[in-house]
A = this chain, B = another copy of it.
Amino acid sequence: MTSTQTRRARESVDVPSLFAVRDAVQGQPEIAQFQFRARNEWVSGTHNRSTIQGFFGPGQEDTTRTEPFRYDADHPAVLIGTNHGPTAVEFLLHAIAACLTSGLGNIAAARGVTLHRVSSTVEGDINLLGILGLSDSVRNGYRQIRVNFEIEGDASPEELAALVEQSRRRSAVYDVLVNGTDVVIDVNVPSAA
């Protein structure tokens, strides 16, 4: 292990800032209320594109993202699409891996653990009888999602595994995927001009 590798994890997370944010929120709990957003435009068929940029928090509109992030979604041909992007359900798999891994990066830094490598694979099983409307007893969504982490770092196997466990305990995406949340859908049909 080179000294460059040693420095990598510690430099990449600003530990004093991590505790500063926590202290700031503790002293002023009302700034903990965040709102995230996305905007999606239909392109054609099953192909559509989301734009993500602004969010609200802490206590004000964020202006640090100078460019929007854009993501296409589509279906493969077997689901009557054109492969311009992954399916929406695959973005759920990205989200759970990303949330656990981002949290793990912060927790490792806070605990002084230098990470060398963190990889994860995510699998999700869906029976399409649900979304095709061919069965009332099969759900539309994933029956199960499995996340498998491989971690290498300067700590015992137990300490490295504990990073994943702590990240799971504080993961927003894990919470939503396991416990569900309230989703409200509204439709506006602009009157023809």
Measuring CB to CB, which residues of chain A are less than 8 angstroms from any residue of chain B? 8-9, 12-14, 17-18, 21-22, 25-26, 29, 32-42, 44-48, 50, 52, 55, 57-58, 62, 64-65, 69, 71, 73-83, 85-106, 109, 115, 117-135, 138-152, 157, 160-161, 164, 168, 170-192
State whether A183 and B96 are in contact (beta carbons under 8 Å apart), knowing that A8-B44, A44-B8, A171-B131 are contacts in the complex. Answer: yes
By a CB distance below 8 angstroms, the chain B residues around A142 are 172, 176, 181
- A39 and chain B: residue at smallest CB distance: B121
State whether A145 and B69 are in contact (beta carbons under 8 Å apart), knowing that A37-B121, A97-B38 are contacts in the complex. Answer: no
In this complex, the member of A74, A103, A188 whose beta carbon has the largest number of chain B beta carbons within 10 angstroms is A188
- Is B46 touching A13 in the complex (CB atoms < 8 A)? yes
- Is B175 touching A140 in the complex (CB atoms < 8 A)? yes
